[in-house]
Structure 1
């Protein structure tokens, strides 16, 4: 009886894991003259009919790579299958922070992730090629990257999120290789000021982006997320902001992504991009 129950449980687990399809692809970046790996996750619906689907771009954190979300968030594939949209996980390299570096011209991850990769995905998958059918989010460095890219490219993305995002890295000038790509903070303060989300948010108009971001109360990024929340309140920019118990780890992010993907599904439905 125990063996039978184990077999049933194992079969059910395999069904959910295999319901969404995972492709690992390489996309050539003209701006960086190299291939950039991505994971593309399509729900079971994609193989069953000819519908065009919305896309969520999901970014990894510092020291991670394109495979992190699939390997470290065990519920992700089932969540994607339940929500019926495509998810793309690009590689943001080690410490790129998803901007075009003014110091290292080989690091052009703003151009790559905001422009080159969506262009390729729209050309090779059945997507809805509209900003209203594109969202972007990520964790930590990727949380900064998602909001940074969405604010700078509102013609590409209609919704954006962040989980435990480094939305203002100026309080940490010696960390995470940032000075390697922006110059040291003391000598290049103006460059740093131009590349933090909390400052870029001042350029937003209300309803220009559908926004959600969250952070664990025991996370070292909690204060900068509170500061961004206050900046958006002061500027009367509608957004969803959540604090939960939690730290800067995969236990937190595996929980958070479920709420963010539900938020994006609601956004796509409201804009008639899906049923």
Structure 2
């Protein structure tokens, strides 16, 4: 994406979750019949729907139901997120403190609400800026102050939606804890919540300790803490990984990981090579990573098919090695005879969406360069492209624009923002490369866009495969489908041989 559109997990997920929490949390109520000099009791449990428009920040629209508690003292309101408000008749003016996310600051130009008959209606206008780029948006909120019996039912319903809060056969209990002084609200966010920050509220104990126990399926889980709206990794946990936004995610591993994801010391291993060259298209040095299969060096005559594998927004060319463990999957699957060996090239795309100069760099510079450096079979029947999130968009975009180069496109949870592809016209859409689309049904960032794209493709009679399964916009989901999509790619190459 371009710099102002920080939409994937860290902007869409945070603006449509963190922002919704703050915005939704900043709502107040006044009874019908109140006057400008009288404040009515509006504290208690609020049930709201927040509708956020972040199209200028690279997203579209997001609706989310929120249930939270508002405290009232006289004409003053407050909530757990540090938001305060003042009632004047049926109107509320909110004071929302700025908060930081993705290297930038969210500030509020205006935050107001009107309360009547225990009905809530409000609007919030905000901007995000990192000093170089800026975007803005609105959030509209409608809801109700619940009666006590309804509040108990609503809160129970919310709890039922989070089965990880209760023991389940096969799941593993893990207590997340954080010591943070003066915090007003702490949440656990991560792959367990599809990076929504308002799902798992931690409980405050003695000595500024906050904790929460979840019952999780085994495997690796990435997470962070959200302390009064600010995202922080767990400094007490030494296991971390890059979050794609100049920060870190914390990682825990419960029980065993996926077998194919782990290193097997008893089998041959391929080579992971980090390289770079000067790019005229980019006007700077550009890094890339290559995976060579185990047998590459043993036979100096044999050539191999090529997979171009693209990373997500704000990450780098090593993401699929670091988080995807693609080298381990390849080694294990090749040794087991489940796939045939092929070469993988992973370019650096930063936040480009793989358009403009980055497209020129990959297509006109990188691919010809690696074909000169490595023994790669020629022709589109031996060339595929895949990638996750922003890389999923890139896999569709580049394959469609260069149908003479790629014979197969495999987008994974693609964030299909077609504003980056104005030439795209579904009425004239043809897709000669085979197309195989994956997306998790719990993916609050990309699933709706995948569904919209699929409708367009079906309407135009495009031949493609669409495979969905439970999972979010997370490495747990992508690791879980890696064996499958690598097999799809290997089968494509094999049928051409």
Q: Tell me if TM exceeds 0.5.
A: yes
For 2:285, what is the secondary structure of its paired residue?
A: strand
For 2:302, what is the secondary structure of its paired residue?
A: coil
For 2:320, the equivalent position in structure 1 comes to 69
Whether the aligned pair in 2 keeps the contact of 1:97 and 1:141 (CA below 8 Å) is yes
For 2:294, the equivalent position in structure 1 comes to 44
Whether the aligned pair in 2 keeps the contact of 1:163 and 1:213 (CA below 8 Å) is yes
**1:23 and 2:273 aligned:** yes
**1:92 and 2:358 aligned:** no
For 1:48, what is the secondary structure of its paired residue?
A: coil
For 2:307, what is the secondary structure of its paired residue?
A: strand
- Cα distance change on mapping 1:87 and 1:155 into 2, 3 Å: same
In structure 1, distance between residues paired with 2:361 and 2:263: 38
Higher helix share: 1
1:245 shift after superposition: 0.3
In structure 2, distance between residues paired with 1:256 and 1:59: 16
Q: What value does the CA root-mean-square deviation take over the aligned residues?
A: 2.1
Higher strand share: 2
Which residues of 2 match residues 184-263 of structure 1 at below 5 A? 192=420, 194=422, 199=424, 202-205=427-430, 208-219=432-443, 220-263=445-488
In structure 2, distance between residues paired with 1:96 and 1:30: 16
For 1:145, the equivalent position in structure 2 comes to 394
- Cα distance change on mapping 1:27 and 1:257 into 2, 3 Å: farther
- Cα distance change on mapping 1:245 and 1:112 into 2, 3 Å: same
Q: Which runs of 5+ in 2 are unaligned?
A: 1-258
In structure 2, distance between residues paired with 1:200 and 1:20: 41
1:204 shift after superposition: 3.7
In structure 1, distance between residues paired with 2:386 and 2:305: 14
Which protein is bigger by CA-based radius of gyration?
2
For 1:177, the equivalent position in structure 2 comes to none
1:231 shift after superposition: 1.4
Whether the aligned pair in 2 keeps the contact of 1:39 and 1:66 (CA below 8 Å) is yes
1:114 shift after superposition: 2.4
In structure 1, distance between residues paired with 2:416 and 2:327: 27
For 1:46, what is the secondary structure of its paired residue?
A: coil
Q: Which runs of 5+ in 1 are unaligned?
A: 1-8, 101-107, 171-191
1:203 shift after superposition: 4.1
1:238 shift after superposition: 1.1
Normalised to the residue count of structure 2, the TM-score between the two structures is 0.44
In structure 2, distance between residues paired with 1:252 and 1:150: 24
Q: Name which structure has the greater RCO, CA cutoff 8 Å, separation 6+.
A: 1
In structure 2, distance between residues paired with 1:121 and 1:193: 27
Residues 40-92 of structure 1 show CA distances to partners (whole Å, capped at 9, x for unaligned) of 00111212212100010100001110011101123x22332313000111000
1:169 shift after superposition: 5.8
Whether the aligned pair in 1 keeps the contact of 2:263 and 2:328 (CA below 8 Å) is no
Q: Which runs of 4+ in 1 moved over 3 A?
A: 199-204
Normalised to the residue count of structure 1, the TM-score between the two structures is 0.77
- Cα distance change on mapping 1:133 and 1:71 into 2, 3 Å: same
1:167 to 412, 416, 420: 416
